[in-house]
Amino acid sequence: MLISLILLFLGLALLVKGADWLVDGATVLAKKNRISDLAIGLTIVAFGTSAPELVVNVVASSGNYPDIVFGNVIGSNNFNLFVILGISGLIIPLSVQSSTVWKEIPFSLFAVILLFFLTNSYLIAGDNQLTRLDGFILLGLFLAFLYYVSTQLKSEETEQAVEVSDYSKLKIWGLIIIGLAGLVLGGKLVVDNAVSMAQTLGVSEKIIGLTIVAAGTSLPELATSIVAAYRKNTDIAIGNIIGSNIFNIFLILGVSSQVRPLDFNPSFNTDIYLLIAGTTFLFLAMFTGKKKKLDRWEALILLITYLLYTGYLIGLES
């Protein structure tokens, strides 16, 4: 048990550091091509910080642990939305661009609603499963999102937030490759030891996925958004979260279902309802108080809601 716990934290550390190196290398590449901060947040940084979820889910899917797969994605999205935006918004009210209000946030809400209907297809198909066909739909929408970002958010002139002259091509690609290696090894350690601990403690894989694995794989998003908030770069802070939530559903579940069709536990529906409610609240928050801004009191509501819900989950398990 102690060894599993140590290896779990080692895996989480590798995930965080691997994502950190990957983001550094990828961000410099983006800056060299003069891509806007919001575009970087929605794509490069979002992909880098979502990479732990991707690796964990591919490993979990290949090992036939669907509760870990869904628990990780749904739990990570809830953690991103309620905890990370909550903490970031308490540090500094998060100003949001019009495109985020009217396009990216609604797109992330559409992603959650679509996931609900795809995984609750028993009324039509007679089962609860995310099939390979469903995965193709998700991956197609992911490509559509990337196309939208590439055509709408590219800027000609951006501030160079990273001193790119200090990075050679060898250093950039070294960071990316070593970061990916850390993600692969870390993901393997997290899944294997989380499942082992769940079996030892008699805790369901669902709860492990929604809490320990989800929070652990969201640490890169947490670190990135908090640093961005302290630096008053709210485009990176909120773009990272919205982008990660879209990536998690469209890309990560899309890829996971290609590895193996995933049986869906209907008890996850409550967590999906929470994610729908939270994303809707974020959209409505853009029109209350100061418009196009997540105020501190709204951020506090997000954070308190998550703490209460986590207490509810633990209570159900005990």
Q: What are the E-state strand segments in the chain?
A: 94-95, 129-130, 262-263, 293-294
Q: 25 versus 310: which is more confidently predicted?
A: 310
166 membership: H or E segment, kind and range: none
pLDDT at 38: 64
| 2-317 belongs to CATH 1.20.1420.30 | yes
Signed CA dihedral, 20, 24, 30, 31: sign only: positive
The model carries a pTM of: 0.79
The CA distance from 49 to 221, in Å, is 5
Average pLDDT on 308-313 reads: 85
8 A C-beta contact, residue 105 and residue 231? no
Adjacent-strand bridge partners of 129: 263
- Stretch 142-161: mean pLDDT: 67
- Report in angstroms the alpha-carbon separations of 73 from 10, 51, 256, 287: 21, 12, 11, 28
Average pLDDT value for residue range 195-202? 76
Using CA atoms, how far apart are residues 206 and 192, in angstroms rounded to an integer? 15
Render the burial of 55-65: b for 16+ CB within 10 Å, e for the rest.
bbbbbbbebeb
For 79-119, the pLDDT digits (tens) are 999 999 999 999 988 887 777 788 889 999 999 999 999 99
Higher pLDDT, 9 or 209: 9
pLDDT digits (tens, 9 = 90+) for 210-239: 777 777 777 777 777 777 787 777 777 787
285 or 157, which is more confident? Answer: 285
Higher pLDDT among residues 30 and 158, named by residue: 30
pLDDT of the residue at 161: 47
130-144, 153-167, 211-225 — which one is most confidently predicted on average? 130-144
- pLDDT for 233-265, tens place per residue? 777 778 778 888 998 999 999 999 999 999 998
Residue 127 dihedral angles phi and psi, to the nearest 5°: -150, 165
- pLDDT, residue 96, reads 78
- pLDDT tens readout for residues 34-90: 666 666 666 666 677 677 778 888 988 998 889 889 988 999 899 999 999 999 999
- Ranges of each domain in the chain: 2-317
Query: What letters, b where the CB count within 10 A reaches 16 and e where it falls short, cover 175-200?
Result: bbeebbebbbbbbbbbbbbbbbbbee
> Under a CB-based contact definition with an 8 Å cutoff, are residues 289 and 88 in contact?
no
The pLDDT of 184-194, averaged and rounded, is 76
